[in-house]
Amino acid sequence: MGFTREQLEAYRDEEVPDLLGGPETDLRLLFVGINPGLWTAAVQTHFAHPGNRFYPALAAAGITAYEIDRVAGMTDEDRAYLVGRGIGITNLVRRATVRASELTKDELRAGGERLTRLVAQRRPAVVAIAGITAYRDAFGERKAVPGRQPDPLDGPFAGTALWVVPNPSGLNAHETVDTLAAAYRAAAAYRAAAVEAGVVAPV
């Protein structure tokens, strides 16, 4: 499956619906991208560009049992599988661009506010934001480093483990599928550890 540059340009500023499941869904692990790319908008599947390593990393980490075909786009069965495992996907900014660098800091700050409201509503056990620079801009945390972020004492993120994980884009040449898988596995493993410690309830 492929698109011409002109075909992809037609999807600029389009949005991709969040993958969250219904209000009754136990949202265990919420991945947060920066914003959709044009291929993602075209196939209505998060992290869909052929060069993106998100789904290969999920499979390598053992978070999913198989690698979802991102290029053609998710099937309804793929979406049901992820939701059934308590995995959700959203973005800081909803509009599609060629590169995340096209976004303004105001858009990212507004995206941080939207994510905060979503976390308050859905109470995921773990939130994993893919991209340290976007996280710093969205939340004003200029000194933040990748990995587990400090637990807030109160507010919408209280009780939710917040992680900043590497961006799986093919443009992020510092990362491989294996390094991405290790980071995603660490975030996902937090829930199991929290269940063991009695911090959150098992499902």
Does residue 195 register a pLDDT over 80?
A: no
| Closest listed residue to residue 25, CA positions, set 88, 119, 117 | 88
pTM over 0.85: yes
Q: Please indicate whether residue 171 or residue 165 has the higher confidence score (pLDDT).
A: 165
Average pLDDT over residues 156-169: 93
Q: 168: buried, middle or exposed (CB in 10 Å: 19+, 13-18, 0-12)? A: buried
63-99 pLDDT per residue, tens:
999 999 998 899 999 999 999 999 999 999 999 999 9
The CATH code that applies to domain 27-85+105-197 is 3.40.470.10
pLDDT at 165: 98
Per-residue model confidence (pLDDT) at position 156: 83
Which strands sit side by side in the sheet containing 29-33, from one edge to the other? Answer: 87-91, 29-33, 126-130, 161-165, 147-148
Domain segments of the chain as ranges = 27-85+105-197
